[in-house]
Structure 1
Amino acid sequence: MVTVLAALTAVGPSVHSVSLAPSLPTGGYVALGDSYASGVGAPPYAKGTDVQVENGNKCKRATAAYAHQVADKTGKTLDFGACAGAWTKHFYEARTPWKEPAQLDHLDASTGLVTFSIGGNDAGFAKILSECATQPPFSNCSSDKEVTEPVDSTIDALAGKGKQAGVYSYDTIMTDIATRAPNATVVAVGYPRMFTRQGGKGGPVPGRCQGLAKVDQRWINARTNELNTALRATAQRHGYQFTDPSGSFAGHELCGKQTSWFDGLLDDGRFHPNAAGHKAMASSIMNTLNNRQAAQEQPAAAQAQVDNTRPAGSFTLARDGDQLSLDASASTDADGAIAGIDWYVQHADGTEEVLTGARATTTVPADEQVSVTAVVTDNQGKEDFTTQVSAAG
Structure 2
Amino acid sequence: MRRSRLAVYVSSLLLAIGTALTGAATAQASQLAATGGYVALGDSYSSGVGAGSYIAASGDCKRSTKAYPALWAAANSPSSFDFTACSGARTSEVLAGQLAPLNATTALVSISVGGNDAGFADVMTTCVLQSDSSCLSRIDTARAYVDSTLPGRLDSVYSAIRSKAPGARVVVLGYPHFYQLGTSCLGLSETKRKAINGAADHLDTAIAKRAANHGFTFADVRTTFTGHEICSGSSWLHSVNWLNIGDSYHPTAAGQSGGYLPVLNSAA
Tell me which of the two structures has the higher relative contact order, counting C-alpha pairs closer than 8 angstroms and 6 or more residues apart. 2
The residue number in structure 1 matching 2:62 is 60
Question: Deviation at 1:234?
Answer: 1.6
Report the equivalent of 2:37: 28
Tell me the distance in 1 between the aligned counterparts of 2:148 and 2:162. 20
The letter for the 2-side match of 1:215 is: T
Deviations 1:120-164 (A, max 9, x none): 11111122212311225x54401x2xx13430232114553xxxx
Identify the residue that residue 209 of structure 2 maps to in structure 1.
233
- 1:265 alignment partner in structure 2: 240
Could you say which residue in structure 1 is the equivalent of 2:144? 153
Residue in 1 that maps onto 2:135? 141
* Structure 2 residue 74 is the aligned partner of structure 1 residue 72: yes
2:127 is equivalent to residue 125 of structure 1: no
Write out per-residue CA displacement over residues 335-358 of structure 1, whole angstroms, 9 at most, x where no aligned residue: xxxxxxxxxxxxxxxxxxxxxxxx
Relative to structure 1, the CA distance from residue 235 to residue 139 in structure 2 (aligned partners, 3 Å threshold; closer, same or farther) is closer
Query: Within 2, Cα distance between the matches of 1:197 and 1:189?
Result: 23
8 A Cα contact 2:143 2:203, kept in partner: no
CA distance 1:177–1:128, shift in 2 (3 Å): same
Alignment size in residue pairs: 236
Between Structure 1 and Structure 2, which shows a larger proportion of strand residues? 1
Structure 1 portions without partners, runs of 5+: 1-19, 51-57, 94-101, 161-167, 203-207, 290-393
Measured in 2, the distance between the counterparts of 1:62 and 1:283 equals 17
Structure whose residues are more often helix by fraction = 2
Unaligned runs of 5+ in 2: 1-26
8 A contact 1:86–1:118 mirrored in 2: yes
Question: What per-residue deviation string (whole Å, max 9, x for no partner) do you get for residues 79-136 of structure 1?
Answer: 000000101110222xxxxxxxx11222111211100000111111122212311225
Structure 2 distance, partners of 1:24, 1:130, is 42
1:264 Cα deviation after fit: 1.4
Alpha-carbon distance between aligned partners in 2 of 1:24 and 1:150, rounded to the nearest angstrom: 42
1:311-390 → structure 2 map (5 Å cutoff): none
Q: Distance in 1 between matches of 2:140 and 2:99?
A: 29
CA-to-partner distance for each residue in 1:219-263, whole Å, 9 max, x for gaps? 11111111111111122222211101111111110011x411011
Q: Pick the structure with greater CA Rg.
A: 1
CA contact (8 A) 2:175 2:220 kept: yes
Percent of matched pairs sharing the same residue = 37
**TM-score normalised according to structure 2 size:** 0.82
TM-score (norm 1): 0.57
